[in-house]
Chain A
Amino acid sequence: MSGSHSVRRPDLGLIALKVYVVAFFAFLMAPIVVVVIYSFSDMAYTTWPITDLSLRWYQRMLEYRPFMSSLAFSLQVAVAAAVLSILIGVPAALALARSGSRYAEAVMTFLLAPLSMPMILLGVALLYYLSWMGLGVSKLSVVLGHTVVSLPYIIRTVAAVYIQSGRSQEEAATILGAGRWQVFWHVTLPMVRAGILAGAIFAMLISLDNLPISFFFAGPDTNTLPVVMLAYQQNQFDPAIAAISTTQTVIAVIMLLIVQRLTGLHHIIGQKR
């Protein structure tokens, strides 16, 4: 209402917000910090608190063959599933966001359905189904399974951004004589970039952490990191698990840095054009 209010109150509000942000990130990082510290433990077992620091568990991690080969395979699967999801998910999201069809909600509901299926059930169903199709325990089976669970993220995030964007820019471009492809490539796609980026990150993270689907398709060439980690820690609970976990986090950060370089991660939170 009064001028003095609008000068004073935002500052207090902002300070409160900043305090909250710090507390929130402390909550978010707390258990991760435990894991990271633990990965540098000198002890041969999961003792807490740790007394001495060492890199021996990172060495152990590098020497344990299944960790490294499954990590490489997990990364391939994550990228493949994200790309496949983008290719079939983005057109669906764009269509749904602007569709006037009375069936739009039904279709959207259907496309998001895999999110709520307990994945262990989907995994076992896919194993029998893909085996019947002749794909069996293969790399393609893993990618298909992961795409089923990645797809909803891309569709939902892209649709949300596109709904919010409004039509004026596309209309303007059309009026100025741009063709459909030109409008799509130069107007629509840049508009939904934040959605694709956020969805792709979700998709890759979900794929990298997926246990219940990968579990049923694990063979000598198709073992993913979470499956190997589970098998390892069922029989041995040493800090090597914390080391590979920390490594996984670092790899994710590096992947994000690459995305940041290529497209600008800030598009998710959009420092304004």
Chain B
Amino acid sequence: MSLAESHTRPKRRVGWGLQGLGGTLPAVIFLIAFFVLPLVDNTINSFENDGSAAAIDNYVRLFTDSYYIEVIARTLWVSLLSTLICIVLGYPIAYYLVRHTEGSGAFLIFLLVAPLMTSIIMRTYGWQILLARNGPISNWLLDFGLIDRPLATLRSPVSVYFGVVHILVPYMVISIASVLQSVDRRLEEAALILGASRWRAFWRVTLPLSTAGIVTGSIIVFMLCNGSFLTMLLLGNGSVVTLPLLIYQQFILVNDAGFAATMGNVLLFLALACLYLQLRTVRGRGHV
């Protein structure tokens, strides 16, 4: 019985009978109680405090002002680009972890999650030291004659991508690796025996079977990036302004909870639309 067959098989009551959506009830109820209702409450409050005309004005302002449209587009673009970089950088690592580590696998996983455990402020501090104008990386490249004047990395958006990818790529690697490990290696070996080149075997067998992992990793990376602001705040010299950063400003400077709620709701809606489209697309190929 092949894998492909079991995916396309018509639904039958096997296993533990969780084919329906009944099992999702506790999670759905929990999120309605502690995620949806607080946000609805928050939005209603913003309408009451500002008067509903002012609250609707906030939405109009967000969608008619070219500045905010630019920020929204940039937010999605930064998340998309970061996700793609994480896939490209992360997949080979996941592949190596699953296929080529015998005893060292657990050790490498320690190394992989260590960055996540170091507080974000200190991680960014580390980058500030490393990427500084006369920091070690710049000096080293100067010494080897690879550049002829000090790098201004910290002033450019590049440093934001350094920071974002550094924090998020472990999620991509672990998501892909946990799926890749359940891919039957014999399928790949069979393709090799049947005369496929190693690259072709990877491209036609291994990669398609690990799609669920890439999807999971992409969702986590995309959505986390969409909602984060500390890296954008501390790196790149303020050159990458995204929606979460504007929300943060409303809290610390302007105290306009209504406009913050407006931007939050728009950001949530856009992220969910992207997520739904992504899930629909891969659904057609057999993965939720």
Contacts and interface: CB of A to CB of B under 8 A. Distances in A.
A and B physically associate: yes
Interface of A: 1, 5-6, 9-10, 13-14, 17-18, 20-21, 24-25, 27-35, 48, 87-89, 91-92, 94-101, 103-122, 124-126, 128-130, 132, 144-145, 147-148, 151-153, 155-157, 159-161, 163-168, 170-171, 174, 180, 183-184, 187-188, 191, 194-195, 197-198, 201-202, 205, 208-209, 211, 226, 229-230, 233, 241-242, 245-246, 248-249, 251-253, 256, 260, 265-272
Given A21-B92, A28-B111, A161 B197 contact: no
Given A160-B175, A170-B15, A151 B92 contact: no
Interface stretch (B53-61, B66-74, B141-149, B275-283): B275-283
Given A32-B114, A116-B223, A155-B27, 16 more contacts: A18-B96, A21-B96, A28-B169, A100-B11, A109-B275, A110-B28, A116-B227, A117-B39, A120-B251, A121-B260, A156-B220, A164-B209, A205-B116, A268-B177, A268-B178, A270-B98
A25 B111 contact: yes
A121 B264 CA distance: 7
Q: Main SS of chain A's interface residues? A: helix
B257 A115 contact: no
Contact of B175 (A99, A120, A157, A251): A157
A195 B178 contact: yes
Nearest to B117: A252
A233 B111 contact: no
A129 B38 contact: yes
Contacts of A268: 109, 174, 177-178, 181
Interface of B: 1, 3, 6-7, 9, 11, 14-28, 30-31, 34-35, 37-39, 41-42, 45, 89, 92-98, 100-102, 105-106, 108-127, 129-130, 166, 169-171, 174-175, 177-183, 185, 192, 195, 197-198, 209, 212-213, 215-216, 219-220, 223-224, 226-229, 243-244, 247-248, 251, 257, 260-261, 264, 267-268, 271-272, 275-276, 279-280, 283, 287-288
A197 B178 CA distance: 9
